Amino acid sequence: CRAGEELVKISELYPEDINAMQRFQVEETVLDKLKITFENSTDFFGRIVVYHLGVLGERL
């Protein structure tokens, strides 16, 4: 979202359980805050492991 605005969903991503790095393209969006929500997990204990998370962009 932009500063002072409500969060808005910009994309849904569907990662695969393949034990390999995955990249996801998201529509170019101007924002000040980013929230990433994992809806469900395939792990028996409900765990999700993220080894590397990069958000690419530039500050305007």
pLDDT by residue (tens digit) across 17-45?
Answer: 888 888 988 888 898 998 988 887 777 88
What is the model's pTM?
Answer: 0.66
pLDDT (0 to 100) of residue 5: 93
Residues recorded for the chain: 60
Contacts of 31-35 with C-beta under 8 Å, sequence gap 24+, read 31/1, 31/2, 32/1, 32/2, 32/3, 33/1, 33/3, 33/7, 35/7
